[in-house]
Amino acid sequence: MCADARDFPLAILAKAPVPGRAKTRLIPALGAEGASRLHARLLRHAVATALAATSPARITLWTALEHDHPLFRELAERHGIALRAQPEGDLGTRMHEALAAMDAPGLVIGSDCPALTPALLRRCAAALMDADGVFLPVEDGGYALVGVRRAEPELFRGVDWGTDRVMAQTRERAAALGWRLACPARLWDVDRPEDLARLARLGEALGVDFLAPRREERPD
């Protein structure tokens, strides 16, 4: 696999944008509808980023909450990507399932890291030529991407998901497996109200207004 390869498996884990159940930590700042609308825009952006990095036939959108949500159907029909339902279990179980379903070394991402770029996705895929696993740590102690050469459930076992210990504990699991890891970059994700100002600045740079209200909500 070379750095500009366009044929690596890529899984996106995503909840349906259901008000009150998506981006719940942003509800105090945006309201339930606003938080779900932002989630939908972030998911669209994640899919666009994935499509610029690898071929549509290699992308799978792993769905949660409402597997038949109109947004999921739209993305699959418009872009030719696959849909699969996430299994029951914690985040580690769901990531392992997505990795185990791949027919070659591949990557798993979520939808809440708009700073992720196609070039960085390709760089992470290429890193799996030498490393057993690749991660993109984020500032809150978790990670925005994981990729492996082979799926191993022990990598995700006993991790305190949703805490600032996630990356550190995963490194410990990798060390116990004797794995060599690559971490090409450190990013940030959109989880808390204090992340919104940085998201707005990134949107300005990208020409994407993540936080704009719907047209019918704009004042006359």
Q: What is the CATH number of the domain that holds 181?
A: 3.90.550.10
The number of folded domains in the chain is 1
- Report the number of secondary-structure helices (H) and strands (E) in the chain: 6, 7
Residue 213 falls inside a structural domain: no
Per-residue pLDDT band at 36 (split at 50, 70, 90): very high
> What is the signed CA dihedral for 88, 93, 95, 100, rounded to 10 degrees?
-100
Give the per-residue pLDDT at 213. 75
Domain holding 139, by residue range, is 10-204
Q: With beta carbons less than 8 A apart as the criterion, state whether 41 and 48 touch.
A: no
In percent, the amount of the chain with pLDDT more than 90 equals 91
167 vs 4: which has the higher pLDDT: 167
For residue 59, what pLDDT is reported?
Answer: 98
When pLDDT is averaged across residues 124-132 and rounded to a whole number, the result is: 97
Q: Across the chain, what does the average pLDDT equal?
A: 93
pLDDT average, residue stretch 123-142: 96
Residue 104 lies in a domain: yes
Q: For residue 118, is it within any domain?
A: yes
Is residue 218 one of the residues assigned to a domain? no
Is the pLDDT at 62 greater than 50? The verdict is yes
H helices of the chain, where?
A: 27-51, 70-79, 91-100, 118-127, 166-177, 196-206
Answer yes or no: is 144 within a domain.
Answer: yes
